[in-house]
Structure 1
Amino acid sequence: MTSESQRGHRVRAVGRGPKVRAVVHAATLAELIEKGYAALTVDNVAQRAGVHKTTVYRRWADRESLVVDALAEHVAADIPVPDTGAVDTDLRELARSLVGTMTSPSGQAILAAMFSDAVRLPEIADARTRVFDDRFRRAEPVITRAIERGDLPADTDPEEVLRALVAPIYFRLLISAEPVDEATADHAAALALAAARAGVLRKK
């Protein structure tokens, strides 16, 4: 039989810092896709990543913080913040990126983790809030730049515009189960832009 120490020697070297973070994030997402949040364990993530679980625990205190970090990083990487010079095309590109991400296999796993599992696991509901807060924070410059250019009213609330942008997309993904495609994204962008220009999405 193979001893514990022998198995430990088989853990592959993955480097330090950003490289470790990247492989652990990838392993975390892979575990989410295959098994869901409820069955995800730090041990399995470490084994899939090829690192010792102590390496994981040195960077993330628990399963929740690991999943939150992996989800936030994945969403940030998969939904880049556009800067086309025009608010209409920025919003359209932002919405299309969201649709592309959330209709992919990894996006479907993210939705399942953040919504389906959240019904039974309160800690993932908090993780969902933190992921969305991070997403809004990263995307706010799209609206801030538009205000500075005079494309939107000066008192426009960036977060409200982003909420209006994503709402029709998530409604179809999570509630109505209607098809979600680029046309959905373009329509959501047009609605958010019209509401913002009409002064509906002002700071309170």
Structure 2
Amino acid sequence: MTDNPVQRRPGGRTARNREKVLRATAELLLREGYEALTIARVAAAAQVADTTVYRHWPSKAHLVLDALSEMARSENPFPDTGTLEGDLRALLRQIVALLERPEVQRVVRTVVSLSGDDAEVSRAKDVFWEERFSGAADLVQRAIARGELPVGTDPYELIEDLSSLAYFRLLVTGRPLDDRVVERSLALVLNRQVSVPGPGGVSSAGIDT
């Protein structure tokens, strides 16, 4: 299996160049948008050769998705408040705060619209979303250990349920991303988890289903 460019984490000078390239990519992307971004402009802004960029990212899509993964890790980390409700509320507030920024909205719409006909781009998108949701596993395992979630809860589905309303409003209806979105989404997720059937057809709240 070939090494996926968006998953590499090199060290030394290569790591420093990688950091500069991703920072330059994020800045250009948020300021000017996807269409205006080019490998040559990124290389110039990062003060590296074009070949340095292409050595690690075979296309603009790969580069952008990797830059967005880094931005998500730094600006939208998975919290640890000590409770499931606190973790989910803090996480969704971070998501909403990011989605309220016009430049982030533009980038999210671009990521969603990237062509699915290119196998490499599709894989890069898969890796982006996998990395974005990977931190949910620890959040869910902590909640299971505290008895707040049933064993077997799917972390990916939990975060999908939590964030889907915010993304639906951004991408479909255009309705406000406000505190009501956070509290409504949180209530829907927590109520759903309470009613999830456990072993023997009994919900986690102990109600026959």
**TM-based fold match above 0.5:** yes
Alignment of structure 1 residues 50-199 onto 2, 5 Å: 50-115=47-112, 117-118=113-114, 122=118, 124=121, 126-199=123-196
Kept after mapping to 2: 8 A contact 1:32/1:109: no
Aligned-pair CA distance for 1:94: 0.7
Aligned-pair CA distance for 1:138: 1.8
Q: Within 2, Cα distance between the matches of 1:158 and 1:89?
A: 16
Deviations along 1:93-141, one digit per CA (max 9) or x if unpaired, are 11011111122244223213212x4269756555433322211112221
Kept after mapping to 2: 8 A contact 1:32/1:113: no
Kept after mapping to 2: 8 A contact 1:172/1:178: yes
* Distance 1:129-1:106 versus aligned 2 partners, 3 A rule: farther
How many percent identity over aligned positions?
Answer: 36
Q: Within 1, Cα distance between the matches of 2:87 and 2:198?
A: 17
1:8 alignment partner in structure 2? none
What SS class does the counterpart of residue 91 from structure 2 fall into? helix
TM-score normalised to structure 1 length: 0.80
Q: Structure 2: which amino acid aligns with 1:93?
A: A
Q: Within 2, Cα distance between the matches of 1:168 and 1:75?
A: 19
Q: Within 2, Cα distance between the matches of 1:95 and 1:64?
A: 26
Aligned-pair CA distance for 1:149: 1.2
Kept after mapping to 2: 8 A contact 1:68/1:128: yes
* Distance 1:137-1:185 versus aligned 2 partners, 3 A rule: same
What SS class does the counterpart of residue 114 from structure 2 fall into? helix
Query: How much is the aligned-residue C-alpha RMSD, in angstroms?
Result: 2.5
Aligned-pair CA distance for 1:164: 0.5
Q: Within 1, Cα distance between the matches of 2:139 and 2:83?
A: 9
* Distance 1:200-1:173 versus aligned 2 partners, 3 A rule: farther
What SS class does the counterpart of residue 16 from structure 1 fall into? helix
2:5 alignment partner in structure 1? none
* Distance 1:128-1:181 versus aligned 2 partners, 3 A rule: farther
After superposing the two structures, state which structure 1 stretch, 30-39 or 53-62, moved more. 30-39
Structure 2: segments with no counterpart, 5+ residues: 1-11, 200-209
* Distance 1:184-1:84 versus aligned 2 partners, 3 A rule: same
Aligned-pair CA distance for 1:200: 6.2
